Structure 1
Amino acid sequence: MALNYHQLHIFYTVAERGSFSAAAQALHMTQPAVTMQIQALEDHFGSKLLVRSTKRIELTEAGHTLFPYARRSLELMRETERAMSRFASMLKGRLQLGASLTIGEYVLPRLLGGFAVKYPDVSIALKVMNTAQIMEEIVGHQLNFGLVEAPVHHPDMVSEPVMEDELKLIVPAGHPLAEKERVRLSEVMNYSFVLREKGSGTRQVMEAELERLGIAAERMEAVMELGSTGAVKSAVEAGLGVTIISPSSVKHEQALGLLKVVDIEDAEFKRQFYSIHLKSTVLPVSAVTFLTYLRGFKKSFYIS
């Protein structure tokens, strides 16, 4: 595994802030994602870098050795960005990227406009397809990079978190829960669900949180399992059940008063969106600029 700047940045932030939770908040990442990147960095060096004490995170001897290098790498990256920022307005070229369904259909369309205004000479060719197809086209050099809903495990690819998303409870207009802003999960479990198919990224996030809370996924009464977010939305709108999906996918229906987004106060269905590209490929400046632009959004794209 190649050492990367992103992992050094996470390590430095954890060490500086003194805890994984504080670092996760500062980096706009989930705490498990921060922990995973620290573990990957420790695997790379073959040494433990951090230990948890009773009050805060402490650096090991290896961690103390790495810390100044991590700080210098951040300083050098900031200097590089400042030096190259004058060329940003001159960016030109064509970006070819792939995105999985939720990202490509519901997230990026809301963000591409701002990027196009800032960088009018960069054209973007976006393909919406599943993760396996995106990986195949990246390996075949047909795409510069991809945006997917889970990290990929491929010996020739780099996978890095870009944005955070949080799934929410979606109910139809007129539903008993539609008048509430917040509900408890135990109350939600009394209703029938329309779910994405098993194996989908959305379903995995939902089931992982239920498992963390000690609730068997089978307790959800699934009246229907569907293979696309659009189909799930239509079924919920028709009153067939409630669902848990990304609120970014129901903005239109919410504006029309057809669906309602409700917070579940005692559960968090969070996930990361990831960029993937070949280790052997140096991303063009336009691609790096685009990913930096995406990282500038704190929490995906959903504004309640």
Structure 2
Amino acid sequence: MINDSLKVFMQVVDKNSFSKAAKALSLTQPAVSFQIHTLEQYYGTVLFDRVNRNISLTVAGELLLKYAKKMIQLQSEIENSIEDLTGTIKGKLVVGGSTTVGEFILPPLVGNFKKKFTQVDIRLCINNSKETERMVLNDIIDIGIIEGPASSEDLIKEKFIDDELVLVTSTNHPWASIDDISVFKLKDYPFICREKGSGTRHVIESTLKEVGFPLENLNVAMELGSTSAITAAVKNDLGMSIISKWAAREMVEEGLLSTTKLDETKFTRQFTIIMKKDKFRTHAIEEFLGFLNTDKLKRIAKD
């Protein structure tokens, strides 16, 4: 296994913060500081410059980061070779999902994968699309599924499934009993949207701009960092919102939310699988990619 101290070191580099790394690793901040101190004692040099609350890599730290990345790839190659020899698929797999995907689509898929490949230690990491892309590029997660397009040229991108965003209101809202409404009437009531960097927000902004109704025209009551928080706010009459059909489906079926069509305006996108181009593909990664392409068809067939 990769040295635990090196794992902590790479998280501190990625988060640029001891406290944020501790949170990501479910450790205390003193535990993270101890691991970094252990590395600095072992190599006999300082790895981070610490000025007030800011940290940056020293020259030695930059050198260690370079070799730590190579060690991770070498470890993956060793595990693959052993799995070829034994016929057993195991190891660690970290799957990242943007908020909608991570909350409403990936959990059952990850659960089904774990049932089939019991010796794979699979973890799910949920962030917005922009953060998920960054984590893939920095080798923090192995595979990401995001909402909409990825911007980096250093990524392999593959279509996963199509998605449509729908307008949701509380069941008490004046539009709850209306089948169709003009998109330009969105300004008439408080609106709840996702934070900047969210794939959902990007789709809403770009679609409204196309029809000549910029996001600035909305009566934005609040910005929230998760779809679950938005649905809870909408349900409690704090505003309306536009969210993925996957996120709305269960609450609409239970009679907790209502959906209304926005004339001929379609908020559509696709969920995209992303991987770093030079990422070494372990057997666990290959199996999960194949599993996505198979299991997604079964899931879509239920709709």
1:279 to 277, 286, 293: 277
- Aligned counterpart in structure 1 of residue 219 of structure 2, from 205, 213, 221: 221
The one-letter code matched in structure 2 to 1:111 is L
* Residues 200-233 of structure 1: CA deviation (Å, up to 9, x unaligned): 2211101111111122323322222223323222
Identity %: 32
Distance (Å, rounded) in 1 between the aligned partners of 2:125 and 2:288:
16
Alpha-carbon distance in 1 for matches of 2:141, 2:230: 30
- Judge conservation of contact 2:96–2:124 (CA < 8 Å) in 1: yes
Supply the distance in 2 between the matched residues of 1:191 and 1:302 (Cα, whole angstroms). 36
User: Could you say which structure has the larger radius of gyration?
Assistant: 2
1:201 aligned residue: 199
CA contact (8 A) 1:192 1:222 kept: yes
Letter in 2 for 1:151: P
After superposition, give the CA deviation of every residue in 1:116-163 in whole Å (9 maximum; x if it has no partner): 455555552212234455445444544322222233333432233222
1:238 corresponding residue in structure 2: 236
What residue ranges of structure 1 are gaps of 5+ in the alignment?
Answer: 1-86
Counterpart AA for 1:167: L
Distance 2:223 2:301 in 1: 25
- Residue by residue over 1:170-226, the C-alpha shift from the partner in whole angstroms, topping out at 9 and shown as x without a partner, is 110122222244444245553331222344221110111111112232332222222
Partners of 2:161 and 2:121 in 1: CA distance: 22
1:258-269 alignment, distance < 5 Å: 258-269=256-267
- When residues 95 and 240 of structure 1 are mapped into structure 2, their CA distance, relative to the original with a 3 A threshold, is same
- Normalised by the length of structure 2, the TM-score is 0.60
Scaled by the length of structure 1, the TM-score of the pair is 0.59
> What amino acid sits opposite 1:159 in the alignment?
K
Q: 2:268 aligns with which of 260, 265, 270?
A: 270
Among 173, 181, 186, the residue aligned to 2:171: 173
In structure 1, give the amino acid aligned to 2:266: E
Contact 1:164 1:298 in 2 (8 A): no
Indicate how the Cα distance of structure 1 residues 138 and 217 shifts in structure 2: closer, same or farther if over 3 A, else same. Answer: closer
Q: Residue 280 of structure 1: SS of its match in structure 2? A: coil
Equivalence for 2:183: 185
Q: How far is the alpha carbon of 1:167 from its aligned partner? A: 0.8
Instruction: Decide which of 153, 157, 168 is 2:151's aligned counterpart.
Output: 153
Q: Distance in 1 between matches of 2:178 and 2:118?
A: 43
Q: 1:125 to 1:271 in 2, by over 3 A?
A: same
CA distance in 1, matches of 2:201, 2:248: 17
Query: Match for 2:154: what amino acid?
Result: D
Q: Which amino acid aligns with 2:229?
A: A
Partner of 1:92: 89
**Is the CA contact 1:247–1:302 (under 8 Å) kept in the aligned structure 2?**
no
Cross-structure match for 1:4 = none
Counterpart AA for 2:151: H
State the partner residue of 2:81. Answer: none
Query: Helix, strand or coil: the match of 1:276?
Result: strand
CA RMSD across the alignment: 3.2
Superposed, 1:34-49 pairs within 5 Å as none
Map 1:51-200; keep pairs closer than 5 Å: 92-93=89-90, 94-116=92-114, 122-131=120-129, 133-200=131-198
In 2: Cα distance, 1:265 partner to 1:117 partner: 43
Change (3 A) 1:207 1:302: farther
What letter corresponds to residue 145 of structure 1 in structure 2? I
Which residue is equivalent to 1:253? 251
| Shift in alpha-carbon separation, 1:263–1:286, aligned structure 2, 3 A | farther
SS of 1:97's equivalent?
A: strand
Code of the aligned partner of 1:208? S
Distance in 1 of aligned mates of 2:149 and 2:96: 15
What are the Cα deviations for residues 9-37 of structure 1, in whole angstroms up to 9, with x where unaligned? xxxxxxxxxxxxxxxxxxxxxxxxxxxxx
SS of residue matched to 2:251: helix
Unaligned runs of 5+ in 2: 1-83
